[in-house]
Every structure is written in structure tokens, then in C-alpha cells.
Amino acid sequence: MLVEAKAKVEAKKAANKPAGRVTDGTQRELPWESPKPKCWICGRPGTGLKSGDCRSARRSDGRLEVHCSQGQTYAPPKGLSPGDVIKGNDDQKWAYVGEKPNGLGDGRLFSIFVIHQPKVMNTPVRTINSAVPALHVAEAPEERGITLSQLLPLDIANALKEVTKHLPYDEHVVGMNYLAGISGLVKLGTLICGNQITSYNVPPNLYIATVGRSGQKKTPLHQLTIRKPAINLLSQVADINRELFEEWIAACKDAKEDGRDKPKPPPRVSIHVSDYTGEALNALLSVLEGKKRGLLLTRDEISGLLCSMNAYRKGLGADAQQLLEIYDGHASNAIRISGDRSYERCHVSIQGNIQPEVLRDLVKTGDPDGRWARFMFLPMREMTCPLPTQVNEETIDAVRSAETVLQTYASRVFHLEPATYELDQSAIEAFCRYGHQAQPGNL
């Protein structure tokens, strides 16, 4: 059956395959070929049962054009827009052109790529003054955003580059997510002094929301920059909670034997929380104040956290206001039937991901309470990055070494004693200038 099916497909291909085509508006017809030894885009072999599905031809400008079949085993990158540039299996840069049916009637599509050729404007500008020579304008250099080396010490920056180099992230997105994770590990009482004269002291917390569409690998970003660096600390906290619970069980058993009331269960310590209610958060922050610890509210889809505010109070609670107050580390004195929950200071950071469409719906009514002004939104650029095909001991050791560096620094921050950090002169000038420029927009 397989042989007969293959023969039918080959016959259909032969009947539908054109002898040549017209390219670039010329009348020159060029024959199609199968990429050898494999497709430069998806890696499909050029010979064997799967051969012939991807096709290539030489354009009139000399560049290769590849029609890469969108199969199941072998497939080109998805989610591309015309003009996007990817790195192919041959380490060359290929520009995405578009897609078209493969012509075999089986519903599959070709993704079309050409060898990337940067545009160069070399047309002379018309000379108005004969004394001025004609100008040749070359392509402007590619704009670069904030880099990891600008944000962080070199060894941390290099470690983050190593663990994320095969994933489609801009460096500033990686760096800010990492800083959000680190900010949740500092001890309570750590402050940044923005201006000594006005006593502008604030906790070094961050509210971060990474904005990206589904499939842009937001979850691996969370794992690599937030969870893995703190994995040993999370394990230590889990051990502490387990020991406290075992001690409570033993105390309950002794109380029962002695005819005494059962003691209250010990408060659970957490440094990473993915979901909460307002009352539970107040209780936890009260416990963390005694432990001199901060907290990171981290959620893969942060919209779930934001939309669940006041869920247990029919929308009449103060969860949203609580989110605003803890941003500045303000005190709280909540009185409840089940017991008072108070603290004089707190340190809370928030990190999560959100899709552009969801964010658009959340902010369409404006920002009357300043909720969104507290968040730093990090749009993820739509780009692709091929996963590594060569896996060996050297590459694995490099990643493990980088992970160890990040875990070591997380542990150092976790055990660092509280202090107030002051800005240097250039940072004070930049901060005050920014604050003054931002004021008119807030009036």
C-alpha cells in the first residue's frame, strides 16, 4: 500500500511540477531542484522517501529561493511575517517572503525564503551645489536596545546569555525578568535612596509584565530567569516548612495526651507565590516581616492574578487597592474576625506574562487608580531562533556552569543584610531629570 501510494504521489508531482518559472519580472525560466543534501531551512533530506517536498531555484539576481514544505516531521519556523530574518540550518541568514499552496492538492503549504541581502541605498543624491559631491547613503546600522552587559555585572550577564542564547529573547527582556526575580529575594529593610534631600527612599521591588503572543516561549523565560536561579532557596524554604509542620504535629500529639488545647498551626513561609487572596497575602506579609523576608508574586499568565482580584467578595473587596499600597511597602493593620493581620513594612515584587490582546482589554478603560503605571511592560519582539542540533558534553557543561553562577548570586542576595543604597551623581541627575519630565503627564 505504501509503495502504491508513493507511486501515485510521484505521478501527481510529475503532472503538476512545472518545467520552469518566471522570476523577478524577467522572462527567464529556471528549473526547480531539491535542496542537497538537505533543506537549508527545515533540514529535510534531499534524497529518500521524504525528498522532493522542499524545492529551490536560483533567482535572476543570483540568490537562492527555497520553498520549504510545512510538514510534520520537517517544518519551517512558524509565526513569521514577510521580511523577518532567520538563521537556517546552513548558518546563513534567510529572509521570509510568504507562503503558498504546494500545488499537490493535499492542503499543505510552502513557506518561501530567499538568501538575506541587506538593502543598501547607493543611488546618488541629486547635486544642488556643484561644489558638493554626490552622496552614497549606506544602510543605517541596526538599532540596539539595552544589553545585559549594561544592566548587570559581566559574569551574570554572560551566564544569562549562555542559558538563553538558543531562545528568541531580546537581552533587555531577559535582564528585567531576572532582576524581578532577584528583587523578590532581598531582605526586608533594603532600600534605594533616590534623593537624600526629599527622603525619597523606596524598596527595590519591581512589577514586571512580559507581553508576548502565545508560542513566544514566555514560560521557558520564567523558568530560566526566575525559578532556576532560586531553586536551591525554594528547596531550603520547603525544608523549613516541613520541619515546622512536623514539630506542630508532635506538639498536637503531646497536647492531646496532656489534655491541653491543640496549638495553632505554624505560619507557612513562602518567597514565591503564584496565587493568593487579599486576606491570605496580609497574613503572609505579617509572617514575612518577622522573618525579615521579601516576596515575589509570580504567575505564568499574570492576567489570571489581576482578574481574580476580589473574586471571593463579589468584586467589592480591596485587593486592587492592596496591590497599589504594597508597591511602596506601606504598613497594614487589617482587622478580621479570624484575627488581626498587621505589618509595619513589606517588600513585594510581581513578575508574570500576558498576551497583547488580553492586556488591551484590561487597559481599555484607562488607569484611574495608577495600577498599570506601577508595571513595567516588556513587549517581546516576534522573532525566531533555531534550537541547537549539536549537543555534546562541552555545551551541556557550559549551561550547567552558567546556571551555577546564577544560583550562587541568588543565594548571596538572599543572605545579604539590609542596607540603604544611594545613587551616584550621574544617576541622581538622570533620575531627577526623568521624574521632572514625567510630571506633566501625571497632572
| Confidence (pLDDT) at 79 | 79
Question: Could you tell me if 127 and 117 are in contact, meaning their C-beta atoms sit under 8 angstroms apart?
Answer: no
Alpha carbon distance 427, 77 (integer Å):
42
Q: Which three cell numbers stand for residue 74?
A: 520537517
- The residue count of the chain comes to 443
Q: Which three cell numbers stand for residue 183?
A: 528583587
Alpha carbon distance 201, 190 (integer Å):
10
- Is this prediction's pTM over 0.75? no
Q: Are strands 272-273 and 295-301 parallel, antiparallel or unpaired?
A: parallel
DSSP state string for 40-89: TTT--BSSSTTTTSSEEEE-TTS-EEEEEE--SSS---SS--TT-EEE-T
Residue 371 confidence class, pLDDT cut points 50, 70, 90: confident
Alpha carbon distance 370, 348 (integer Å):
17
- Going along 329-430, which residue ranges are E strands? 332-334, 341-343, 348-354, 376-379, 420-422
Residue 60: pLDDT over 50? yes
Residue 270: pLDDT over 50? yes
| Confidence (pLDDT) at 152 | 92
Q: Are strands 109-115 and 64-69 parallel, antiparallel or unpaired?
A: antiparallel
Residue 226 confidence class, pLDDT cut points 50, 70, 90: very high
Percentage of the chain lying above the pLDDT 90 cut:
25
Nearest of 146, 301, 297, 110 to residue 213 by alpha carbon: 301
| Confidence (pLDDT) at 182 | 95
Residue 191: pLDDT over 80? yes
Q: What is the mean pLDDT of residues 28-41?
A: 74
Q: What is the mean pLDDT of residues 330-338?
A: 57
Residue 123: pLDDT over 80? no
Question: Could you tell me if 122 and 137 are in contact, meaning their C-beta atoms sit under 8 angstroms apart?
Answer: yes
Alpha carbon distance 283, 333 (integer Å):
11
List, for residues 302-313, the tens digit of each pLDDT value. 877 766 554 444
Nearest of 102, 100, 76, 71 to residue 88 by alpha carbon: 76
List, for residues 382-393, the tens digit of each pLDDT value. 887 888 887 788
Q: What domains are defined for the chain? A: 32-115 (no CATH), 148-442 (3.40.50)
Which amino acid is located at 167 in the chain?
Answer: L
List, for residues 405-439, the tens digit of each pLDDT value. 999 999 999 999 999 999 888 888 888 888 888 77
Residue 142: pLDDT over 90? no
Which amino acid is located at 310 in the chain?
Answer: N
Residue 12: pLDDT over 70? no
Q: What is the mean pLDDT of residues 259-270?
A: 86
Q: What is the mean pLDDT of residues 318-336?
A: 71
